[in-house]
Structure 1
Amino acid sequence: MRSWADIAVIAALSIIGMVGLTTSFAEPLYLVAGIGGIVVGTGAALLGHLLRWPVVTTVLAAIVAYFLLGSALAMPNEAIAFVLPSLQTLSGLAVGAVFGWADLVTLRAPVELPYYVTAVPYVSGWLVSLVSVTLALRWLPGRGGALRAAVVLAGPLVLYVVGVLLGTEQPYLAGVRGVAFAAIALIWMSRRRRDSARVASAANEAVRRRRVVGTAVVVGAAVLLGGGGGYLLAPPADARYVLRDEIQPPLESLDYPSPLAGFRIYTKDLDQTDLFTVDGLSEGQRVRIATMDSYNGVIWDVAGAEESSDGSGEFSLVGRSVPVPATAEDGVPTHLDVTVSWYDDVWLPDIGYTTDFGLDRRALADLRYNDSTGTAVLTTGVTDGRSYSLDALVPQPPSDADLADVPVASLQLAPVENVPDIVTAKALEFSGAATTPIDKLRNIETALKTGGYLSHGTASDSAPSRAGHGADRITELLTLDPMVGDQEQYASAFALMARSLDYPARVVMGFAPDVPAEGGPVTVTGDDVTAWVEVAFDGIGWVSFDPTPDDTDVPQSQVPKPQTEPQPQVRQPPRAENEQEDLVNPTDVEDDDKDDESPFVLPAWVIAVGLSVLIPLAIILIPLLIVTLAKRRRERRRRAAATGDGRVAGAWDEMLDRYAELGYPIPEKLTRPLTAVKLEAEISAVGDGTLVALAHRADAAVFSGREISDAVADEVWTEAMAAAAVAEAATTRLRRIRSRYTLRSIGDRYRRLLRRAERDTARRGSDPDRTDARRGDRP
């Protein structure tokens, strides 16, 4: 009865600690996983105790139960029919137990992805309950003092502390859980300290009443002082110590081509192609796909995570709900429904700062989000047929009057490199005599809009326009009169000018479809592609600028072309034989071919299948290997005994160990011949007197005092191993498999400890006065 009470206390305290993770998870599935882990670990420990399994066997059974039941308890959405294990759940249970802890403290709370993160509460409850219940059943009985009881409670206490460290700044019922945990622990430890025999004794009735009253007083004081002190002295939320505030999340740099480099593909090849349909846009709103703040003299690109902590390169795994920056909290709530047609890229079309992604669970696992830029990437690609929704907050643009006295924000953006000198010169020229950042930027914007013309370089444009936004193309744009280009060049030039003035600027690419005033679904085509610039102002956020001109009628130059004068014909020298070799260098071609060869990378499904197969095999084979090596070492040690009689005795002991590991009961404190008689009666397959004869030979070798030759010892070993083989063949296959994982020495050690505990319990129960005197408690 007392053991069941111990198990109930351990389970209750573990659940109290598990509830502390509530603020870290987005769904209550974590609590199902945590309580399920507690049940699985407790069941394994209890089953091992009832069947008198060794500790190794109990642990192996617990590991098997962990994987068999974990799919239904921790990952039902990935399991077969929500119950049966799958390759994904098996690998998730293993990966989550190792790496889920890091994801839980580095991902933004509340966490709901990746799918294997629920393995953290599951494995925590499983491990704590397995160890604590095993100690309570095998180590605590008969010696239930306060010290041992405190050791048993160490597991639930660790689980409680883990719930605090892995939680958030906002605790979940911290005072209630703390007082409940302390009260239950104090009551249980007090009851464990009392010996049952003395409590039942009528002579100790007064002692029992006194201790009950004392326990009640202690618990009441703990509730009052703990609750009141916790309410009055609890630190504020921002001073609460949690690991997620101390650990810097890893930055995930996504290596994808710059979308701005393919700007002309939309205007030339996809100008009449339906890319996607969006419903929910207001008049004048634009759809964004990417934000770029890194420039290397050739292209604007998404900065690598190692280059910028405030920029476009920091992407992280998020769940369905996403918190927004403080500067966007007053934005206009917007809901978009998007249906993809011809659009095919990794950049997810969105708007403003998304607060909720309406994607299926599998797509959410592939979603990466940058909360600084509001851009999202779907690593598996946004392809034809995908539909999704999103809720976002769209900041309202401030007026120039509101920005008159506002400085630009201090941000660490990726550097811009190889910028042509004319950019700085034109920035100073266009900004004029303005003194405030907003006035300088507006002057530059106006100079570009009024001094240039729009041309995509198509056949219908009045003037040619070269694609690209490298240093040479920006130089060409700013030196030619008039300036001719499209959003790609004007946005790039404006952003570079702003950066030359030390203003934090970035280029944004997206689509600007014509949205009717009444709203409704809008089909976006390649002709709607655009680019603009955003500059960050302190306390305000990012402000948009559109430096691209609207006028497409480029004036034709009136300067006549110079007439060419005929030149006298000059005989050309013969071509050198190696001229062709100079034009094409075979070495260079070979090097290019080598550079194009990409290293072989295993597909993700191969890795997943491999882990799913190797992890269960490792769980089965590693313990088997350890036990097999221990048995071989034991046999070698006995065979290599220093004397012949020692080797003969070792053969007899080895045979008995193998019988015990097969599950046969080995009599204790009997001579070898009597033990042989008992075994032959138990094992019919060896009941022909073989064991009795072998026992007499072993006794003769040990007690005769004669020197035993190696030949005699080897003969005894051969007979002993043959008898063990016969007994093994007579058992069932299940018992033979179990014997592979069983080592008799561990079972013997456990049985000795159990007998010692039973003797101590009987001794204390038979002489309660002596126990009281020893402990200093006289009736």
Structure 2
Amino acid sequence: MANRRGRGRRAAPRRESDTNLRRAFASSGAGAVRRRVVSGRGVLDLALVVVLSVIAIAGFGAAFDDAGFLLAGVGGLIVGVGAAVLGTRLGLGALATVILAIAGYFVLGTAFAVPEEGVDAVIPTLSSIASLAIGAVFGWADLLTLRAPVELPDYVTAVPYAAAWLVGLIGALLVVRWMEHRRRTVWTHALLLAGPLSLYALSVLFGTEQPVLAAVRGVGFTAIALGWIAWHRFHSAGADIALRRGMLRRNLASATVLVVAASVLGLGGGMLLTPSADDRFVLRDEIVPPSEQLDFPSPLAGFRKYTKDLTDTVLFSVRGLEPGQRIRLATMDSYDGVLWNVAGVHEARDGSGSFTMVGTTFPEPQLLTPGAEARLEVTVAEYGDVWIPGVGYPSQVSLDGDDSRAREHGLRYNAATGSAVLIDGLAEGDAYRLTAQTQLVPATEQLLEVPTANVELPPVSTIPDIVVAKAGEFAGGATTPIEQLRAIEQTMATTGFLSHGAASDSAPSRAGHGADRMVELFERSQMVGDEEQYASAFALMARSLGYPARVVMGFAPEVAEGAVSVDVVGDDVTAWAEVAFEDVGWLPFMPTPEQTDVPQDEVPQPQSEPQPQVRQPPRSENETKDLLTPVDIDDSDTDDEDPFGGIPGWVIVGGLSIVAVLIIVLVPMLIVTALKSRRLRRRRGAAAADASIAGAWEELLDRYSELGFDVPTRVTRTMAAASLEQQVGEHATGRVLGIAALADDAVFSGREVPDAERESVWNEAHGAVELARRAVSRGRRILSRYRLSSVRRWAGTVVDRARVDARDRGHGNRAHWGRPDGGVDNGDRLDGRSTPDAG
């Protein structure tokens, strides 16, 4: 009994403690939460989260081109921590606090992450909100796959903003809602440090091989974390003041020695043991960036247009061009027996048609011996194409104008060829500044022992036998690559004649550079042609000898000494060949002769049936895909133990809420995209060519409807096309009307439609849709991903039928002509939709 009473007396304080705890928990209701104030210890914990997170965010500096990432990261911390503290002070629950944080993410994110897309850099817009959402989901993949330092697209800055926001929100919620009422242990400290530590690791993995103050940041991070843990251990020693003072006296020296030693060893070890740049592990080195295959017509196919139609027309003006420098336009390394063209990634990994999004700062080529640096200022006049005229290998391009930032999103670059393109194309009035490195050309004597480079190029499918024979003949007894190539260049330049096929030329010269034209060039008694034929023939002869060669088209204006600016006209167009030499670069060869007067007794006679100029083959049927694609990251845990056992329920609820929001945003878009792809395959794969062409028209109408245009119904295709072009404006340029005419001809003419025409109509339809996309705002483009025209038509049909039924009930007459909705059923809709589409 005494033992029982003794146990009861000893248990009394425990019961009193339990009662106090229950009272404390009871006082933490809604009314008490509103009066909750963060304690001094909690303020220190919040400061720790912020300071360590800022140190971690600084590591992203190597991946961005300016300090905007730091503003975004600090802003994310402010929003996340501020939402957690404000929600606690207002007495909001965990879920309500997370919703408040999400609202703050989008409302304040414009000023911190994407100020260029907001009104006055602060007020959110639909475009800035979309960038914040897209950046949080897809920006991670873009930050890894785009070249560092990343400057475009703008939404990539949302990556440090979103990461810091999440770390700040979770860390602050742990401090103000969980750690305030729990006994501090090593595990609670580790849990609070997990967020900043994860952010630190993320900045390292997403950085580059050149770290940002790695030793200083690492030592600073460690010293602050150790000091914070030591301070908490001291304040957790108990209520005995004497004991705490004793601990302070005993541990102050040891803690100081520990921090100083860690700092010294960290700095020294970091300097001595830090891996070299080549050995540093970063994710971007392990991921192959996606290349965008751009399908543009070969500019070399329109070579004669410059020499005949634009001879004296000023195409653009250039400031800073040195005498003797040539302007590069496009580089072509793929030959199919008809055209020299750019090669896509399916033909060669670094093919001339493989472009990447780079912003305004371009990567350095792998094969280049730098010569002089060139700085040009170009003002466009009558030139209108996607290829950006430049010198050598551009390192930076800056567009001028109010919309330059938006247009720079369309810059693409191929570092292997030095070719840059602007997706929207250049037009009269455009201006840009360009900085480039030129290729140093060593003397022939310095290249006698230098082999050609091992460069991956697409194979040449057709080289006429006479070209192979002439290559051996012109090379003569030369043995080294440079001697053979110089011999071929010299022979062609001294024995051939220059003619652009103009009426004033002494000898006729047919355009083109196909295999038949190459045969004609060498079969006649005298070689007659222009730069188009000579550069093509030289490149083919070099390829026949096993040397990597390609063709470059550009301009060679005459620049007087001391001239500030020069006007480039169509007559300045030229072409030349380049061959790659190991550890040197792509060296130019100019095989085109200068002499134009062909002896009269040796003037070659034109063929009795001259071949027409070869046109560019129709565009590939492949749609242009978005460069920027998401990367799926598998976060599954194979551990049998529950990894979330120690995490509070409100944290799980908050995470699931964020995931739910992402699912609500992404899943409908994925479903709609799948339905659109199914619809496209069904229409394009129709067995009958005329049905496929009609499907191309229907696909065009659906895409325009999904972009928000008002697509007329019960009208002819031509009337519908006219209405759509009026809505699109100058971007359409009669393209939709042309597609409507082709569709009408294919459907109603009764003739046999060839497959080539079907593919051409589909390509034209895709081009018209792309023009319409450029004509609308980014918000409408984003909304179009969630729209399905068949659903909109179905809803409209339901409304129309309801109106007809209501009208019939009012008149007491339900008889109509042909169909219940009062329309005319003649087998085909006048707008070209022959059958309803449920897809």
Q: Secondary structure at the match of 2:98?
A: helix
Query: Of 45, 60, 63, which aligns to 1:21?
Result: 60
Q: Secondary structure at the match of 2:84?
A: helix
Alpha carbons of 1:337 and 1:559: their partners in 2 closer, same or farther (altered >3 Å)?
A: closer
Alpha carbons of 1:386 and 1:607: their partners in 2 closer, same or farther (altered >3 Å)?
A: closer
Query: Of 245, 254, 268, which aligns to 2:285?
Result: 245
Q: In structure 2, what is the Cα distance between the partners aligned to 1:513 and 1:607?
A: 40
- Bigger shift: residues 170-179 or 221-230: 221-230
| TM-score, length-scaled by structure 1 | 0.73
- Structure 2 match to 1:475: 519
- Structure 1 match to 2:332: 292
- Structure 1 match to 2:596: 552
Q: In structure 1, what is the Cα distance between the partners aligned to 2:251 and 2:325?
A: 74
Q: In structure 2, what is the Cα distance between the partners aligned to 1:75 and 1:318?
A: 18
Q: Over residues 269-327 of structure 1, what are the superposed CA-to-partner deviations in whole Å (9 max), with x where a residue is unaligned?
A: 11111100111111111111000001011100111023223432232222333343365
Structure 2 residue 77 is matched with structure 1 residue 38: yes
- Structure 2 match to 1:432: 476
- Structure 2 match to 1:422: 466
Kept after mapping to 1: 8 A contact 2:295/2:353: no
Alpha carbons of 1:197 and 1:93: their partners in 2 closer, same or farther (altered >3 Å)?
A: same
Query: Of 215, 219, 225, which aligns to 1:185?
Result: 225
> What code does the residue aligned with 1:270 have?
L
- Structure 2 match to 1:361: 405
1:426 Cα deviation from its structure 2 partner: 1.3
- Structure 2 match to 1:452: 496
Q: In structure 2, what is the Cα distance between the partners aligned to 1:58 and 1:84?
A: 23
1:585 Cα deviation from its structure 2 partner: 10
> What code does the residue aligned with 2:511 have?
A
Structure 2 residue 250 is matched with structure 1 residue 217: no
Query: Of 318, 321, 324, which aligns to 2:361?
Result: 321
1:447 Cα deviation from its structure 2 partner: 2.1
- Structure 1 match to 2:691: none
Q: In structure 2, what is the Cα distance between the partners aligned to 1:111 and 1:401?
A: 42
1:214 Cα deviation from its structure 2 partner: 4.0
Query: Of 604, 608, 613, which aligns to 2:778?
Result: 608
Q: In structure 1, what is the Cα distance between the partners aligned to 2:72 and 2:197?
A: 19
Kept after mapping to 1: 8 A contact 2:338/2:513: yes
In the TM superposition, what are the counterparts of 1:5-404 in structure 2 within 5 Å?
5-141=44-180, 142-194=182-234, 196=236, 198=238, 201-325=241-365, 328=368, 330-359=370-399, 360-404=404-448
Kept after mapping to 2: 8 A contact 1:146/1:193: no
Q: Secondary structure at the match of 2:176?
A: helix
Please, which runs of 5 or more residues in structure 1 have no aligned partner? Answer: 562-583, 618-779
Q: Over residues 318-367 of structure 1, what are the superposed CA-to-partner deviations in whole Å (9 max), with x where a residue is unaligned?
A: 23333433654631111111110000000000001222222232332211
1:237 Cα deviation from its structure 2 partner: 2.2
Q: In structure 2, what is the Cα distance between the partners aligned to 1:614 and 1:150?
A: 46
Kept after mapping to 2: 8 A contact 1:91/1:611: no
- Structure 2 match to 1:514: 558
Kept after mapping to 2: 8 A contact 1:321/1:357: yes
Q: Over residues 393-422 of structure 1, what are the superposed CA-to-partner deviations in whole Å (9 max), with x where a residue is unaligned?
A: 222321111111111111101111122222
Q: Secondary structure at the match of 1:382?
A: coil
Structure 2 residue 577 is matched with structure 1 residue 538: no
- Structure 2 match to 1:587: 752
> What code does the residue aligned with 1:5 have?
L
| TM-score, length-scaled by structure 2 | 0.68
Q: Secondary structure at the match of 1:77?
A: helix
Alpha carbons of 1:199 and 1:314: their partners in 2 closer, same or farther (altered >3 Å)?
A: farther
Q: Over residues 632-657 of structure 1, what are the superposed CA-to-partner deviations in whole Å (9 max), with x where a residue is unaligned?
A: xxxxxxxxxxxxxxxxxxxxxxxxxx
Q: In structure 2, what is the Cα distance between the partners aligned to 1:415 and 1:559?
A: 35
Q: Secondary structure at the match of 1:237?
A: coil
Q: Secondary structure at the match of 2:378?
A: strand
Kept after mapping to 2: 8 A contact 1:334/1:392: yes
Q: In structure 2, what is the Cα distance between the partners aligned to 1:519 and 1:509?
A: 24
Q: In structure 1, what is the Cα distance between the partners aligned to 2:305 and 2:525?
A: 26
- What is the CA RMSD across the aligned residues, in angstroms? 2.4
Kept after mapping to 1: 8 A contact 2:526/2:602: no
Q: Secondary structure at the match of 2:588?
A: strand
> What code does the residue aligned with 1:181 have?
F
Alpha carbons of 1:114 and 1:408: their partners in 2 closer, same or farther (altered >3 Å)?
A: same
1:615 Cα deviation from its structure 2 partner: 11
1:58 Cα deviation from its structure 2 partner: 1.3
Q: Over residues 59-86 of structure 1, what are the superposed CA-to-partner deviations in whole Å (9 max), with x where a residue is unaligned?
A: 1111111111111111112211111112
1:265 Cα deviation from its structure 2 partner: 0.8
> What code does the residue aligned with 1:470 have?
G
1:458 Cα deviation from its structure 2 partner: 1.4
Q: In structure 1, what is the Cα distance between the partners aligned to 2:452 and 2:756?
A: 47
> What code does the residue aligned with 1:184 have?
I
1:159 Cα deviation from its structure 2 partner: 0.5
Kept after mapping to 2: 8 A contact 1:290/1:347: yes
Kept after mapping to 2: 8 A contact 1:88/1:612: no
> What code does the residue aligned with 2:312 have?
Q
Structure 2 residue 761 is matched with structure 1 residue 596: yes
Q: In structure 1, what is the Cα distance between the partners aligned to 2:751 and 2:77?
A: 68
- Structure 2 match to 1:743: none
Q: In structure 2, what is the Cα distance between the partners aligned to 1:45 and 1:281?
A: 59
Please, which runs of 5 or more residues in structure 2 have no aligned partner? Answer: 1-39, 606-748, 788-839
Q: In structure 2, what is the Cα distance between the partners aligned to 1:508 and 1:534?
A: 7
- Structure 1 match to 2:453: 409
> What code does the residue aligned with 1:344 have?
G
Q: Secondary structure at the match of 1:377?
A: strand
- Structure 1 match to 2:678: none
1:221 Cα deviation from its structure 2 partner: 2.7
Q: In structure 1, what is the Cα distance between the partners aligned to 2:159 and 2:381?
A: 40
Which entry has the higher C-alpha Rg, 1 or 2?
1
Q: In structure 2, what is the Cα distance between the partners aligned to 1:396 and 1:177?
A: 41
Q: In structure 2, what is the Cα distance between the partners aligned to 1:204 and 1:66?
A: 43
Alpha carbons of 1:588 and 1:320: their partners in 2 closer, same or farther (altered >3 Å)?
A: closer
In the TM superposition, what are the counterparts of 1:694-709 in structure 2 within 5 Å?
none
Q: Secondary structure at the match of 1:355?
A: strand
> What code does the residue aligned with 1:318 have?
V
Q: In structure 2, what is the Cα distance between the partners aligned to 1:424 and 1:252?
A: 34
1:123 Cα deviation from its structure 2 partner: 0.6
Alpha carbons of 1:288 and 1:214: their partners in 2 closer, same or farther (altered >3 Å)?
A: same
The alignment of Structure 1 onto Structure 2 pairs a total of residues equal to: 595
1:594 Cα deviation from its structure 2 partner: 6.1
- Structure 2 match to 1:633: none
Alpha carbons of 1:49 and 1:193: their partners in 2 closer, same or farther (altered >3 Å)?
A: farther
